[in-house]
Chain A
Amino acid sequence: MIRLDNVTKVYPAGARPALDSVSLDIDKGEFVFLIGASGSGKSTVLRLLLREELPTRGSVMVDSRNVGRLPARKVPDLRRKIGCVFQDFRLLPKKSVFENVAFALEVINKSPKTIRRTVPEVLDLVGLTGKAQRMPSELSGGEQQRVAIARAFVNRPLVLIADEPTGNLDPDTSQGIMSLLERINRTGTTVVMATHDNNIVDAMRRRVIELDTGRIIRDQNRGVYGVGR
């Protein structure tokens, strides 16, 4: 599903590479944590998958597409197959909950009828029943993140990418978000999540890939966050 082959990423402004010959393989349906200190390159990996950045060297494959070589006009198509969730939610502030989720369907040309049927289903799934007409500003952080997850999941993406989705949330709320991501993962969606939250990683016992200054230093199935951190 996802394969990085000797990927090096040097930002124009960066002295050292943000990623240094990183290779990794993630299968369909896996749940993977990306961990590592601040600046270790977690977000950079995720940005490469979304083609927000291009690799300096090496190849990035997603769903057997070479993301680094993808022509610009095919980028929207790639992103429609990848759901993404961020620490800062990134909801459209002038759109209601319903419209935010519907947006992901509108860009792939779904009929209004399908949208009217699908969006409430997904909102139920993420636990936002009855909040469809709220504006993002009228929701708590946890609820906003649920909207973001609903939007990421509504068109059943192959991969869900989450960059510190619980970074702004308290432990209880984080727990709720994690069980949601787990449920999504059980539907067969590959989940790749960058996080700093050792409690979550330890509780989930999933594959852990640890980065340190742009290199992979650990790749462990059913891993924990690490001792002494």
Chain B
Amino acid sequence: MRASFVMSGVASGIRRNMTMTVALVLNTAITLFFVGGSILASREINKFNHDYEGKLNVSIYLCPKPVQGQTPLGNCRSRYTDAQRTSLEEQFKKDPIIKTWAFISETDAVVRYRKTVPQIVGNNTTIGDLPASFTIHLNDIKKDYPTFVKEYRTQPGVSGTSSQSTVLKTLLNVIGRVRLGSFVLAIVVLIASVLLIANSIQVAAAQRKNETSIMRLVGASRWMTELPFMIETIIATFVGGLIALGLITLGKEFTLNNIFKVPVQNGVIPNLDANDILIAGGLGMMAGLVLAALTAFATLRFYVKL
């Protein structure tokens, strides 16, 4: 059978069921907007996670020189020794949970501190006021931090350990839940959409029952009568997918370039580029097309006898 022949059947089918086709297109557009949006949100969150988990460090503070009349910190009796520092570094080298580390001497600490505070405060701080430390990057901060604390807190020459920002971690958790929610929503919309497709095909097939039975009598095979329905569904899904892509682009512009304009410009919230949108839209489209084709096929095979 020739393509032009099938396509003329498809064109007339679409024309005849215009309202249904429009409903299908809009429904698919909204569904794929949700699916694509949820994929996009997920990418955004991954970037955010990546940016911040990458920046989350832990620190080991080394013993400062004891101050007269104050109880020494932790198990510090005296200032840490170079031997203790070297011994720690030897352990870091062998420790699988540690990725990189940097030593910050008492001098470095003060230099850094002075950069972050007003000059008048900075000038009152002298070398020795701030302890030397290691800034350490763990492979997996969530998993390995407790082990890290247990391993290093009580080592000779160590006054304590700390991790940055539990606030940030809470934030990441919340965002993770939002992502899960958007996925659940997308799946619900997707199910509704599959049911709508199945339903539309049944109605369309019933409408054209007379016609298809004549076709069958003249010797059309089953797939010849089914193909137009499948192609119609796929075209509707494709057009819906394109609209969804437009909606996703608009949605992204609106949220990231309007609502979150400043934090995005500062790099606090990572931006999303055309590539991300195409990936999200493309994945949504692909999922949509596969699902639509499968639904159409299954409906025609099992619920409609053409």
Contact = CB atoms under 8 A, between A and B. Distances in A.
Interface string B12-40: 10001000000000000000000000000
A72, A78, A92, A106 interface centre (most CB from chain B within 10 Å)? A106
Interface string A104-146: 1011110010000000000000000000000000000000000
A49 to B, nearest CB: 12
B211 interface: yes
Contacts of B217: 50, 52, 79, 84, 90
B302 interface: no
Contacts of A109: 1-2
A94 interface: yes
A144 B217 CA distance: 17
A9 interface: no
Contacts of B5: 106
A79 B4 CA distance: 23
A164 B217 CA distance: 17
A103 B224 CA distance: 12
Interface string A76-90: 111110001000001
Contact of A106 (B2, B216, B222): B2
B2 A73 contact: no
A101 B211 CA distance: 14
Q: Select the residue from A80, A103, A112 with max chain B CB neighbours within 10 A.
A: A103
B146 interface: no
A90 B216 CA distance: 12
Nearest to A93: B211
A216 interface: no
Contacts of B211: 92-94
B214 interface: yes
Interface string B131-144: 00000000000000
B218 interface: yes
A73 B221 contact: yes
Interface of A: 50, 52, 72-73, 76-80, 84, 90-94, 103-104, 106-109, 112, 151
Question: What 9 pairs across the A-B complex have the smallest Cβ distances?
Answer: A80-B219, A79-B219, A76-B221, A107-B220, A106-B5, A76-B219, A107-B219, A90-B214, A104-B218
